[in-house]
Amino acid sequence: MKILVAEPLAKQGLEILRAHHDVDEKIGLKPDELAAIIGDYDALLVRSQVKVTADILAHATRLIVIGRAGVGVDNVDLEAATKAGIVVVNAPTGNTVSAAEQTITLMLALAHRTGAADASMRRGEWKRSSFTGVELRGRTLGIIGLGKIGQAVADRARGLEMNVIGSDPFVTAEQAALHGVTLVDVDTIIETADVITVHVPLTKGTRGIINADNIGKLKPGVMLINVARGGVYDEAAVARALVDGKIAGAAFDVYETEPPAADNPLLTAPNTVLTPHLGALTAEAQLRVAEEACEQVIDVLAGRSARYAVNAPLLTPETSRAIAPYLPLTVILGRIAAQYLRGGVKTLTIDVAGDLAGHDASQLTAAALRGILENATSERVNLINAAFLARNRGITVNERKTNDAGTFASLVTLTVEGDSGRAIVAGTVANGEPRLIRIDDSWLDMAPAPFMLMTRHQDKPGTMGRIGLMLGEANVNISSMTLARTAPHLDALMLLAVDDDVPDAVITEIRKNQAVLDVWSIRAATDR
């Protein structure tokens, strides 16, 4: 087969490709030049500069796989690639060590005031007493997000004799302990850590995880580090806290806007160390991402699954007829189950009943895992890599089949279990549309909406009306509603489809109602 390398790639990666196929290196092609020749190739390798647009892909009549030597795939039109049956792979683990080392570097620079001391020296000054630092030994490092990079940071911090605490809803206490980490909640980290570093994807739930509301709870003298994603810290709030002296220092490698605007308050805030997104910019990381991307390209060309595919492959016609209508349903069920459980999932059991039981359920399982994991990892989760990511996070997966689906032709039921308890959600497809059928022991029939509000409440007259009034006063429109009761005047589950996210303040007010036992704001649509 023929492979086109359109950007500079480490020679070790090129050697991997050339050991199996014909390779052409054509660097600096203009878009029209790339479009003119892409039809001759089975695989394309890029980094970050070449834009693989829908127009270029329209000419890629032979292309099987696109390899991105790096993490982000913003320069590849994923939708167009998927529609064309082209697998896109990236290299998300090659920068783990480099990002962890950058985190430790910034932490040491803050503790020993390296940046400010260097700047002073270059001004011709010798002000030793102005740059008294602190030792990290014996201090507490709080890590929010214990994925690959978070764990690597923990390993290195233990070498500095730091106490390490961490928070991650998808990591067990036993897994954390393997890296010397005591598992706690985010509030404990905020209140007790001397140094805080965040290693999570940027989602609705993680945006501004350190913000104006909780900065006042930080331990005096705390240092903050961001080598994850711009936006996980409220940059303006951090800058104000630095000016006010509530924070001893902050080190940022990533920013909400890159490069940061000239008026970004971090640029003028005191006690900062700022670097231009260097977390993955080492010779070793560039080598590893090249090797990782090239190895996957070889796998795909050989008909094997790629370890880090970022889009779902096309289904075979046979599988498509039976499974495809249930894949979006099962992703939605996974999203609902994860949010309903309110905690890390340790076990997923998927029950496939009825006509579906006669088919391979592995893609349904992958779809469920995608829904459960997609907002808990910086890696893009899809039908290819979901099972791998689940194994890495210690999630046990069980598949069960039965021909008996009751009154339904087919039924998919997810049971998720974790430290916070157990949750059951089930659904089916009717007239080609997903239907939510069951939540725990409550049976209902509702089309899942992108935004939903769910309550468990005592079945008292007026409760539903009061909740509706609170939503109306907050300008939250209700598009549909379903109610399931255990028995009259006992308790009920109410599910509302709403047009927008319900504000946290409204959730708090609903929770104050004496008849309300619990309330959830559910997003059935993805953040990504």
* pLDDT tens per residue, range 161-172: 999 999 998 888
Pair 506, 471: CB distance under 8 Å: yes
In whole angstroms, give the CA distance from residue 396 to residue 431: 33
CA–CA–CA angle 451, 170, 456 (5° rounding): 40
Please give the DSSP secondary-structure letter assigned to residue 365. H
Residue range 142-168: average pLDDT? Answer: 95
Read off the pLDDT band of 384 (50, 70, 90). low
CB atoms within 10 A of CB 489: 11
pLDDT of residue 320: 59
pLDDT of residue 63: 93
Read off the pLDDT band of 182 (50, 70, 90). very high
- In percent, how much of the chain has pLDDT > 90? 67
pLDDT of residue 42: 96
| pLDDT > 50? residue 528 | no
pLDDT of residue 72: 67
pLDDT of residue 374: 81
Read off the pLDDT band of 281 (50, 70, 90). confident
| pLDDT > 90? residue 315 | no
Q: Is 372 helix (H, G, I), strand (E, B) or coil?
A: helix
**Least confident range of 67-81, 171-185, 427-441:** 67-81
CATH topology of domain 315-447: 60s Ribosomal Protein L30; Chain: A; (3.30.1330)
| pLDDT > 50? residue 527 | no
- pTM of the model as a whole: 0.65
Q: Find the length of the chain.
A: 528
179 catalytic? Reply is no
Q: What is the dihedral of CA 310, 316, 318, 323, to 10 degrees?
A: 10
pLDDT of residue 93: 85
Residue range 246-261: average pLDDT? Answer: 93
pLDDT of residue 212: 93
Query: Is the fold of 96-274 the same as that of 315-447?
Result: no
pLDDT of residue 214: 93
pLDDT of residue 39: 96
281 or 98: whose pLDDT is higher? 98
Q: pLDDT tens for residues 87-99?
A: 899 988 888 899 9
Which amino acid does the sequence have at 52? V
Write the DSSP assignment of 279-335 as a string of letters.
Answer: TT-SHHHHHHHHHHHHHHHHHHHTTPPPTTBSSPPPPPHHHHHHHGGGHHHHHHHHH
Q: How far separated are the first and last CA of the chain, in Å rounded? A: 34
Active-site residue (options: 59, 112, 207, 277): 277
Write down the CATH superfamily of domain 96-274.
Answer: NAD(P)-binding Rossmann-like Domain (3.40.50.720)
Active-site residue (options: 258, 284, 318, 473): 258
Q: Is 398 helix (H, G, I), strand (E, B) or coil?
A: strand
| pLDDT > 60? residue 526 | no
Q: pLDDT tens for residues 387-409?
A: 777 888 889 999 999 999 999 99
pLDDT of residue 67: 96
CB atoms within 10 A of CB 299: 17
pLDDT of residue 412: 96
Residue range 120-132: average pLDDT? Answer: 91
83 or 63: whose pLDDT is higher? 63
Residue range 51-70: average pLDDT? Answer: 94
- In percent, how much of the chain has pLDDT > 70? 96
Q: Which H/E stretch holds residue 386?
A: helix 386-392
Q: Is 224 helix (H, G, I), strand (E, B) or coil?
A: strand
Residue range 174-199: average pLDDT? Answer: 95
Read off the pLDDT band of 314 (50, 70, 90). very low
277 catalytic? Reply is yes
CATH architecture group of domain 449-528: 2-Layer Sandwich (3.30)
Please give the DSSP secondary-structure letter assigned to residue 52. B
In whole angstroms, give the CA distance from residue 420 to residue 56: 48
| pLDDT > 50? residue 287 | yes
79 catalytic? Reply is no
If you average pLDDT over every residue of the chain, what do you get? 90
Please give the DSSP secondary-structure letter assigned to residue 79. H
CB atoms within 10 A of CB 214: 16
Domain ranges in the chain?
2-94+284-301, 96-274, 315-447, 449-528
Read off the pLDDT band of 379 (50, 70, 90). low
412 or 358: whose pLDDT is higher? 412
pLDDT of residue 383: 65
Q: Which of 235-239, 257-261, 275-279 has the highest mean pLDDT?
A: 235-239
Read off the pLDDT band of 184 (50, 70, 90). very high
The CATH class that applies to domain 2-94+284-301 reads alpha beta
Q: pLDDT tens for residues 320-363?
A: 578 888 989 999 999 999 999 988 899 999 999 999 998 888 88
Residue range 454-469: average pLDDT? Answer: 89
Active-site residue (options: 68, 113, 229, 457): 229
